[in-house]
Structure 1
Amino acid sequence: MSEKKLTFKFCDKLVDDFEHVVKHPIVDKSSVYYTGVDLGTACVVLAVLDENYRPVAGDYRYADVVRDGMVVDYIGAINIVREMKRGIEEKLGTELIYGAAAIPPGTDELDSGAVRNVVQAAGFELTNVLDEPTAANKVLKIKNGAVVDIGGGTTGISILKDGKVVYIADEPTGGTQLSLVVSGAYNMPFEKAELYKRNSENHKELLPVLKPVVEKISSIINHHIKGYDVQEISLVGGTCCLTGIEKIIEKQTGIFTHKPHNPMFVTPLGIALSCRQEGM
């Protein structure tokens, strides 16, 4: 069996387990819990792992508190994370103490302070902050290639060589642009277009409409991987749930492109795997 298959076997199993515990939390006591807080443009996700870094609980909520990777509704973000934290604590019958977070690559000086403050104000002891594609690779375990995290507002790229990140970049194009195209093409409000886009039953119909935006994302990827020997591209992030997006990107880049099962949960799980008990 190839390393590629082994990688996705681990990733997909972790995601499947997480999807299960979101609905059916594991209430067996653990000596410690590790929480990953993913403040996405379209969705906020909390992933909780036990002492052995296995999923035990989680929650997610679609929200508009982050735009283009930047926190724009500070109080709203705190309230959402705090409410989700309390809800999970009630289900587990314990307090969640340790939390980790992630930011778009290259935005540390711009917005990492806001992300830190949101997580801490929600009641977590923040133990780690890392960039989103690097967090995703904690789950993917790619040794060589590019991890591309396409979220609601930005596309983040990490290039890895021998398991180490050698380049990171981030540009403001993502799922929001797809929703705007749907809104214009179908003459519907943005909120309705966002819901229409999320429904996988509409993806086959939408793919030709959204192809130009996906091609733009592909050009962003091409620009940033130029000069690097990238043999494979791994897609994560909620926008990559769009059925067939990987085929367009592969055609435009000429590089083998694939994505795991439910790419929306890969990054938050990677953030949780990066959480620890020691403070920053």
Structure 2
Amino acid sequence: MSEKKLNFEYCDQLVRDFEYVVEHPIVGKSSVYYTGVDLGTACVVLAVLDENYKPVAGAYRYADVVRDGMVVDYMGAIKIVRELKQEIEEKIGTELIYAAAAIPPGTDALDSGAVKNVVEAAGFEVTNVLDECTAANNVLKIKDGAVVDVGGGTTGISILKDGEVVCIEDEPTGGTHFSLVVSGAYKMSFPEGELYKRDPKNHKELLPVLRPVVEKIASIINQHIKGYDVKEICLVGGTCCLTGIEKIIEKQTGIFTHKPQNPMFVTPLGIALSCTQQSIR
């Protein structure tokens, strides 16, 4: 079996395991728990791994506390993370201490530690803060390719060579733009368009409507991978849950494009995999 196929199987199995423990948390005697906190534009996800870095619990909530990768509702973000933390702690019967977090590629200067501060204020000891695409690649394990994280407001791209990140970029265009198009095309309010977009039953109907935005994302990818020997593209982020998005991007880029099972959970799992027992200050 090829290494590429093995990596995809590892990723998809990890996601399946996480989806299971979200509904059926594992109560055990792990000596330590590692949490990945993903503060997304549309959804906040907490992924919890045991001492062997296996999924044991998780929780998520759709929210509007982050826009374009920046925390815009600081107190609201703290409240959601704290509530999700407490929800999981009650289910597994232990306190969650250590957490890692992530920010969109290239936003280190703009973020000014806000994400780290949110996670700490929610009661965690923060052990790592990394960019979202690098976090996702902890799960994807791409050596020569591009990880594309399509979030609510932006598309983040990390280009990897021999397993090392050689370029990171973040550009506007993401799920928010999908929702705006849907609400305009169907004369819905923005919240109605957002909910309509999330329902997989509507994806076949919506794909032609959203194709221009998907092609814009593909053009962003093409712009930033130019000059690099990118052999594959992997799509992550909640926006990539749109059925068929990978086929359009593959056609527009001419590069093999893979979408993991439930791409919304790849990044939070990758964040959790980067967590340790050593806090950063």
TM-score class normalised by the smaller sequence: over 0.9
Q: What is the alpha-carbon distance in structure 1 between the residues aligned to residue 93 and residue 112 of structure 2?
A: 31
1:112: Cα distance to partner?
4.6
Is 1:248 aligned to residue 271 of structure 2? Answer: no
Q: What is the alpha-carbon distance in structure 2 between the residues aligned to residue 224 and residue 112 of structure 1?
A: 25
1:153: Cα distance to partner?
1.1
1:172: Cα distance to partner?
1.6
Partner of 2:213: 213
After TM superposition, the structure 1 = structure 2 runs for residues 252-271 of structure 1, keeping only pairs within 5 Å, are 252-271=252-271
Partner of 1:131: 131
Q: What is the alpha-carbon distance in structure 2 between the residues aligned to residue 29 and residue 41 of structure 1?
A: 34
Q: What is the alpha-carbon distance in structure 1 between the residues aligned to residue 11 and residue 233 of structure 2?
A: 15
Partner of 1:157: 157
Is 1:54 aligned to residue 59 of structure 2? Answer: no
After TM superposition, the structure 1 = structure 2 runs for residues 102-113 of structure 1, keeping only pairs within 5 Å, are 102-113=102-113
Q: What is the alpha-carbon distance in structure 2 between the residues aligned to residue 140 and residue 112 of structure 1?
A: 28
Deviations 1:83-125 (A, max 9, x none): 0001101111110000000000000111151101100000000
- Unaligned runs of 5+ residues in structure 1 are none
Identity of aligned residues (%): 83
Q: What is the alpha-carbon distance in structure 2 between the residues aligned to residue 57 and residue 256 of structure 1?
A: 33
Q: What is the alpha-carbon distance in structure 2 between the residues aligned to residue 5 and residue 78 of structure 1?
A: 39
Contact 1:36 1:272 in 2 (8 A): yes
Partner of 1:7: 7
The one-letter amino acid paired with 2:81 is V
1:259: Cα distance to partner?
0.7
Q: What is the alpha-carbon distance in structure 1 between the residues aligned to residue 20 and residue 112 of structure 2?
A: 31
Partner of 2:198: 198
Partner of 1:115: 115
The one-letter amino acid paired with 1:54 is K
* 3-state SS of paired residue (1:136): helix
The one-letter amino acid paired with 1:31 is S
Q: What is the alpha-carbon distance in structure 2 between the residues aligned to residue 25 and residue 40 of structure 1?
A: 23
Q: What is the alpha-carbon distance in structure 1 between the residues aligned to residue 74 and residue 274 of structure 2?
A: 24
Deviations 1:146-189 (A, max 9, x none): 00000111100000011111110001210000000000000001
* 3-state SS of paired residue (1:160): strand
Q: What is the alpha-carbon distance in structure 1 between the residues aligned to residue 272 and residue 154 of structure 2?
A: 21
Contact 1:44 1:61 in 2 (8 A): yes
After TM superposition, the structure 1 = structure 2 runs for residues 8-47 of structure 1, keeping only pairs within 5 Å, are 8-47=8-47
Partner of 1:184: 184
Deviations 1:233-279 (A, max 9, x none): 00000000000000111111111111110000000000000000011
RMSD: 0.6
The one-letter amino acid paired with 2:170 is D
Q: What is the alpha-carbon distance in structure 2 between the residues aligned to residue 81 and residue 254 of structure 1?
A: 40
Q: What is the alpha-carbon distance in structure 1 between the residues aligned to residue 251 and residue 103 of structure 2?
A: 29
1:16: Cα distance to partner?
0.3
Contact 1:103 1:112 in 2 (8 A): no
Check 1:133–1:112 CA distance in 2 against 1; reply closer, same or farther (3 A cut). farther
Q: What is the alpha-carbon distance in structure 2 between the residues aligned to residue 88 and residue 181 of structure 1?
A: 36
Q: What is the alpha-carbon distance in structure 2 between the residues aligned to residue 242 and residue 24 of structure 1?
A: 26
The one-letter amino acid paired with 1:252 is Q
- Unaligned runs of 5+ residues in structure 2 are none
Partner of 1:276: 276
1:29: Cα distance to partner?
1.4
Q: What is the alpha-carbon distance in structure 1 between the residues aligned to residue 110 and residue 29 of structure 2?
A: 39
Check 1:112–1:274 CA distance in 2 against 1; reply closer, same or farther (3 A cut). farther
Q: What is the alpha-carbon distance in structure 1 between the residues aligned to residue 89 and residue 201 of structure 2?
A: 34
The one-letter amino acid paired with 1:22 is V
* 3-state SS of paired residue (1:255): coil
Partner of 1:89: 89
